[in-house]
Chains A and B, each alone.
Chain A
Amino acid sequence: MKRREFIKMIASAPMLATASPVAWAATPAGADYRHLLVLIELKGGNDGLNTLVPYADPTYYALRPKLAIPRDQVVQLSGGVGLHPALAPLLPFWTRRELAVLQGVGYAQPNLSHFRSIEIWDTASKSEEYLQDGWLTRTFATAATPSGFAADGVIVGSPDLGPLAGGGTRAIALANTEQFLRQARLAVPEGQSHNKALQHILKVEADIVQAASQLNADYAFTTEFPQGQFGNAIKSACQVIANKAGVAVVRVTLTGFDTHSGQLATQARLLGELAAGIVALRGALDELSRWKDTLIVTYAEFGRRPKENLSNGTDHGTASVHFALGGRVAGGLYGEQPALDRLSSDGNPAYAIDFRSIYATVLDRWWGVPSPGPLGGRFPTLPLLRA
């Protein structure tokens, strides 16, 4: 009741269920990949309930006698929900209305395996469907990026290409740009063959060489990047973004969210790293004058069980909260907080936003690529971008 009242107050953030069918209609001609997408994976499955805390809901405190965030520590966003205190650095984004909070993101028939569920997210498949190519791979197969781009996408700090996996896409994975430039010397720049397998290898070699010729490792940012692995990944991502040739998407990963035990300290640290990373990213994007045409989106394989376990942790769950930030993001609350009094038999909430609606928003509204092809179906877009 309170949730619904609040959502009504946010005029610019209509709920997904009522999203206008006009959403599909306005597709500009031709893909616009000058709009950058930055994906942040919260690997392990971030606990959504302690990320966006329903501090006014007594059921929340009943489910989490040890893990609940006390009301007075919550960074309140509305009369019903607020951010984990470690996310306080994101409050200015909220105030400037550049932070969209996507509540209850998930999918039907949720799978609780890390491996399978992230595969579902990465390939934008149905729960029971096995697809080989990532959703971005299919997107770039539908609408190619400009051939002069350094790459379609760059994966920072993980060898796992995730949404860029599968054939055809020009995806580069690197730990940092300096090291990549060194390794890339092992690749050979050119070649043609009638042998299909060889042709594929030669193409990937050439992709590596092209990316290496465009990327640099020495853009002098004045922004200070946080210490630690995630801070380094953000720094590398910014080096990638600083290349002059262009890249459509960059994915960074923050890992360690699988908090089956001792969740409070671990999640506080990780969310602190996330917030600091985003603040630095914004600073660097400002230096590059790219904030206005950057969309940052978080994702994860799943959220966590509302009821805490006996190890001061939480087990694998389903729907969770995610963030979208950027200079053209229409800030506010989207979707719906999980109804804690209506959990499934295994104790998990239903989803409010299908994750593929976020992808559809990226494709239809950010890049202008019609989404039904790459996503294998129509999903309503979210009105979270300003013109």
Chain B
Amino acid sequence: MRVSIALVALLSLGALAQSASAAAPLSYDDARHLLNRTGFGATDAEIRGYVGMTREDAARKLLAATHGQAVTPAPGWTSARGPLRYPRGGEKASAEERRVFQQEQLRKGLELRGWWLEEMLTTSSPLTERMTLFWHNHFASGQQKVRFAELMYRQNVTLRANALGNFGVLLHAIARDPAMVIYLDNAQNRKGTPNENFAREVMELFTLGEGRYSEQDIKEAARAFTGWSLDRESGEFMFRRFIHDYGTKTVLGRSGNLDGDDVLDILLAKPETAQFITRKLWREFISPDPDEAEVERIAARFRNSGYDIKIALYAVFTSDAFYARQNRGVLVKSPIDLVVGTLHDFDMRPGLPVPFAVAAAGMGQNLFSPPNVKGWPGGEAWINASTLLARKQFLDRLFRADDPSARMETSAMLTPTTLPKAVAAPNGAQDDEQARQLRFMRAMDRGLASVQFDGEAWFARLSASDPSASGRSEHATRLLLAIAPQTAHEPTDVPLTVVRQLVLDPAYQLK
């Protein structure tokens, strides 16, 4: 039903984009830009497939390829139903029960990270995964608090199913999502003792943005969400009517016996919500500095469409700002961009994806565990001395020809004591725990060492118009860097050396 509405909307998109259709067909650089911004890296062949298209056709093609379900088979345990095995709470749980539970969730959480990374790498629609990740960051929930990998998986499924659907539908679904109910404490929100956490964040971070509501609005909205809880047996959302507040509430000027859905609809009716989401899409796809006039234009279309996410993205992907020269190479690659994008750029298929998810975590982006409800701050905050060296070591390691023993340093910062948050077991006190983590890190090392890069073959596949060594180097530069290299590169015709110089150039951190 929702899908067909989106398709109808998409078919009529051409009529909406009059001004942009005059633009020249996509050049190689344009196509490269489009695919790198909407996916995770892009191969030479993929870029060729978009050269010569109009912006409109290219955007339509990308949007038409999106889908609501992952292709990579999820870990078997995700389809198991029945009660979530909960260690008897708090002080009643035995040490053994806690340990078993933690180990199990840790293992499942790692499998989940690997599964998603694999999907990002192999999907026919990288845009689907980029948007799923976008919403994961927007409706941030983390396994550190939710604990159950099962619930994190189910949330991921919900995010993907709606990632390019309707924002209103997604918002309503997320408010009922069990992982979110736990993450923002709505399970503790009851009549008489409301917990305001969800009500606050739904306004500040999910819809309106800070400062566009009052503290009183939060208090009243919290009452509307009382009783939005979950069934600890099934792990499903449950409305507990006995703890719901049926009194009259007033939220943003609207009064009545409002429930949670009413509050969400009040928030969706506000133009600020469309603008807030559009600004965030701008920072994701175009530049760190949204153009307010353009934001208003795109947000109006978004809202008038009833929050069709594809309509908003079409407007973004066909805008002049998206392709503007001054907006090339102005976004910092996220760790996932860097890790998945690099594997993709070079046609590398790791046997085991988990080590690469852990590598991204070591650079500051641990999937399923954003740092807090605000998500990853992103942008320049991705880069500090620690994460930059982690990035460079990762790249150095992937593109190294010399002896394998030197490869053992990549994850040296990931010593057992410094394992990224929530990749490490919550209870790291025991000695056997440290030994286990050490074994884990060795497995990571082996995983990273498992991908091989064949520089000669990769170079041979490049569609360089000038097939000489220097022509191919030049083409590799265009393919791999969004802007000109920042360091003087030694002329060489050794493919591996060319690639090393390019990926270790500061410009490679940008997209």
Residues of chain A whose beta carbon lies under 8 Å from any beta carbon of chain B: 43-44, 113-116, 119, 130, 132, 155, 157-161, 165-167, 170-173, 175, 179-180, 182-184, 186-188, 191, 193, 195-198, 200-202, 204-205, 207-208, 211, 229, 253, 255-263, 266, 309-313, 315
Contacts and interface: CB of A to CB of B under 8 A. Distances in A.
Contact of B429 (A160, A166, A204, A262): A262
A184 B384 contact: no
A165 B385 CA distance: 10
Nearest to A188: B487
A86 B426 CA distance: 25
Contacts of B144: 113-115
A253 B98 CA distance: 25
A159 B362 contact: yes
A55 B384 CA distance: 46
B417 A197 contact: no
Interface in B414-428: 414-418, 420-422, 426-428
B509 to A, nearest CB: 5
Given A44-B428, A191-B486, A198-B329, A171 B385 contact: yes
Contacts of A173: 384-386, 389, 413
Interface stretch (B30-38, B78-86, B88-96): B88-96
Contacts of A312: 95
B486 A202 contact: yes
Interface in B481-506: 483, 486-487, 504-506
B393 to A, nearest CB: 6
B95 A262 contact: yes
Contacts of A157: 415, 417-418
A197 B330 contact: yes
Interface in B423-452: 426-430, 434
B322 to A, nearest CB: 17
B95 A198 contact: no
A310 B96 CA distance: 11
B28 to A, nearest CB: 21
Contacts of B487: 188, 191
A155 B486 CA distance: 28
Contact of B386 (A155, A258, A309): A155
Choose among B98, B329, B389 the residue with the greatest number of A CB atoms under 10 Å from its CB: B389
Contact of B393 (A183, A253, A309): A183
B417 A255 contact: yes
Contacts of B415: 157, 175, 229
Interface of B: 90-95, 98-99, 142, 144-145, 288, 329-332, 362, 371-374, 377, 379-381, 383-390, 392-393, 396, 409, 412-418, 420-422, 426-430, 434, 483, 486-487, 504-507, 509-510
Given A159-B418, A310-B92, A115 B371 contact: yes
A127 B3 CA distance: 43
Given A195-B329, A198-B486, A186 B421 contact: no
A260 B428 contact: no
B94 A310 contact: yes
Contacts of A130: 372-374
A196 B392 contact: no
A259 B98 CA distance: 12
B416 to A, nearest CB: 8
A257 B372 contact: no
A304 to B, nearest CB: 12
B389 A184 contact: yes
Contact of B389 (A158, A183, A229, A253): A183
Contacts of B510: 195, 197-198, 201
Contacts of A184: 389
20 contacts: A114-B426, A158-B418, A159-B414, A161-B386, A167-B380, A167-B381, A171-B384, A172-B385, A173-B384, A175-B413, A179-B412, A195-B483, A204-B383, A256-B417, A256-B428, A256-B429, A261-B427, A263-B429, A266-B430, A309-B91
Contact of B506 (A202, A211, A257): A202
A198 B330 CA distance: 7
A253 B417 CA distance: 9
Contacts of B372: 115-116, 119, 130
A23 B417 CA distance: 38
Instruction: State the 8 A-B residue pairs at the shortest beta-carbon distance, nearest first.
Output: A261-B95, A173-B386, A311-B95, A186-B392, A309-B91, A200-B380, A255-B417, A159-B386
Given A258-B426, A260-B98, A115 B374 contact: no
Contact of A259 (B377, B384, B429): B429
Contacts of B396: 186
Contact of A197 (B332, B377, B389): B332
Nearest to A197: B332
Contacts of A175: 412-413, 415, 418
Given A114-B144, A115-B372, A312-B95, A208 B409 contact: no
A194 to B, nearest CB: 9
Contact of B385 (A198, A208, A259): A208
Contact of A187 (B388, B430, B483): B388
